[in-house]
Amino acid sequence: MGWKAAIDDYINFIRVEKSLSGNSVSAYKHDVEMFMVYADSIGVEPENITMKQIQEFLNHVDESGLNKRTQARILSGIRGFFKYMMIEEVIDIDPTELIEGPKIGRKLPETLSIKEIDDIEASIDLSKPEGQRNKTMVETLYSCGLRVSELVNLKLTDLFFEQGFVKVLGKGNKERLVPIGEKAIKEINLYITYRNSVLSNINRDSENIVFLNRRGSKLTREMVFTIIKKHAKLAGIKKSISPHTFRHSFATHLVEGGADLRAVQEMLGHESIQTTEIYTHLDKEYLRDTILRFHPRSEV
């Protein structure tokens, strides 16, 4: 099996069988094709690749100056490809099995305090047509811990306010129920009243979508990023934030408040508890900073 055919089959596998997002599929395709160029240069087909050749390729990647996190992602893409080759019985031994990834430090995500979130909401001019929508988006991102893709795809039929939940379609088309508080419910109801009375030109494809632009179409992820950046700047927030910052803040505040880590994992839709465990590190950082700031012996 040649490289192009093998990669095409692998990409089709992760798109259809694994239900990975378009962005994830593109990233894996890019990384495996990068390795294909190297393998072609040394004249080796997929079924004949050795561990030593993969290590040599990774050495070239390291020497090119790419950071450790990017190197780890590239190795992850190559691992996935050869695991697929094993499933298809093209190879008998996985050449990546004994390869160690680059050592990378765990980067703690940026978070916002409750006051900073309130300041961002207060910076929104509610007299403007899009004001209530923008305030509602900020509150929903934070109160429900949503990814930006989950926010823009949220449907009216996903709102179960009487039960106190919203239904979210997450990564891999996996559904989960997330509790929603009274404040978020209030803001959404205010926005929907405006949405239904003013946006008379709602596109048929967007009739069931909660958050719409002025033309009655679904918002793009890029537009939500732009809105968040704008209002963070207006609020005087110096941190580099994105829609995902509200999700990190949601999880951090829950852990700081004593929430069970498994419950936080369920609400975030993390497949592995290890992904959620980063928020215990954030909590320890918070505790450490608190002690250093307020303990009478901290300056000794």
248 has catalytic annotation: no
Question: How many Å apart are CA 250 and CA 269, to the nearest integer?
Answer: 13
Catalytic residue among 83, 230, 244, 286: 244
Average pLDDT, the chain: 86
The two structure tokens encoding residue 176: 């989960």
Answer yes or no: 247 catalytic: yes
Given a cut of 60, is residue 39 above it in pLDDT?
A: yes
- 249 vs 139: CA distance, rounded Å: 12
Reply yes or no on whether 279 is catalytic. Answer: yes
CA–CA dist 148, 96 (Å, integer): 34
The amino acid occupying position 132 is Q
pTM, to two decimals: 0.61
- Pick the catalytic residue: 15, 73, 230, 270? 270
**Domains of the chain from N-terminus onward:** 3-87 (1.10.150.130), 114-292 (1.10.443.10)
Task: Assess whether 106 carries a catalytic annotation.
Answer: no
What is the rounded CA–CA span in Å between residue 15 and residue 117?
Answer: 36
- As a whole number of angstroms, the distance between CA 235 and CA 228 comes to 11
- Choosing from 195, 247, 248, 253, the catalytic residue is 247
Whole-number Å distance between alpha carbons of 153 and 175: 12
pLDDT 10s digits, 243-252: 989 988 998 8
Q: Strand pairing partners for 169?
A: 175
Helix or strand or coil: residue 176? strand
Give how far the C-alpha of residue 166 lies from the chain's centroid of Cα atoms, to the nearest Å: 18
The H-assigned helical ranges of 17-67 are 22-41, 51-63
What length is written for the chain? 300
How far apart are the two ends of the chain, measured CA to CA in Å?
67
Catalytic residue among 135, 147, 195, 248: 147
| 112-116, 231-235, 239-243, range with the lowest pLDDT | 239-243
pLDDT tens digits along 146-176: 999 999 999 999 999 999 999 998 887 888 9
Which of 167, 171, 218, 229 is catalytic? The answer is 171
Pairing of the two strands 165-169 and 175-179: antiparallel
Q: Assign 179 to helix, strand or coil.
A: strand
Q: What is the pLDDT of residues 75-110, one digit of tens each?
A: 988 999 999 999 998 899 999 988 888 776 556 678
